[in-house]
Amino acid sequence: METDINNNILSFINRTPDSLMSGVAQRVKQRRLEKGWTQKILAAKAGVSLPSYRRFESSGEISLRSLVMLAFALDMTDEFETFFGSKTYQSIDDIVNIGQVKQRKRGHKNE
């Protein structure tokens, strides 16, 4: 039990852009394999070149457009609906204070 907790904590601490991209690629690969599709079949269904798809599975690198096209081909578009969705609150105070903070429609000017 303690090992599971430590592994969960380490996976949270060790998050990097590369590990996040690699994790997405592995989940897409897993869904592809569940459907019994080859890389060539998925690339064709998504309209993505085979070399681009192969690079994605090995490195996690792909354009956003190609990733969305893969999501459509795999019927995984629901995941994009929550991408950058609602804010996660850390405490009750965050929720209470949300009405008190005016949100800017633009970023701060660089001075």
Question: What is the DSSP code (8-state) at residue 19?
Answer: H
How many domains does the structure of the chain reveal? 1
pTM above 0.75, yes or no: no
Looking up residue 37, the CATH number of its domain turns out to be: 1.10.260.40
Alpha-carbon distances, residue 87 vs 76, 94, 98 (angstroms): 22, 10, 11
Q: What does the alpha-carbon distance between residue 94 and residue 111 come to, in Å, rounded to a whole number?
A: 29
Q: What is the pLDDT of residues 12-60, one digit of tens each?
A: 566 889 999 999 999 999 999 999 999 999 999 999 999 999 999 999 9
Residue 107, in any domain of the structure? no
Q: What does the alpha-carbon distance between residue 88 and residue 6 come to, in Å, rounded to a whole number?
A: 23
Query: Domain range spanning residue 57?
Result: 2-75
Tell whether the torsion through CA atoms of 24, 25, 26 and 31 is positive or negative.
positive
Q: Using 50, 70 and 90 to split pLDDT, how confident is the model at 92?
A: confident
Residue 93, in any domain of the structure? no
Residue 110, in any domain of the structure? no
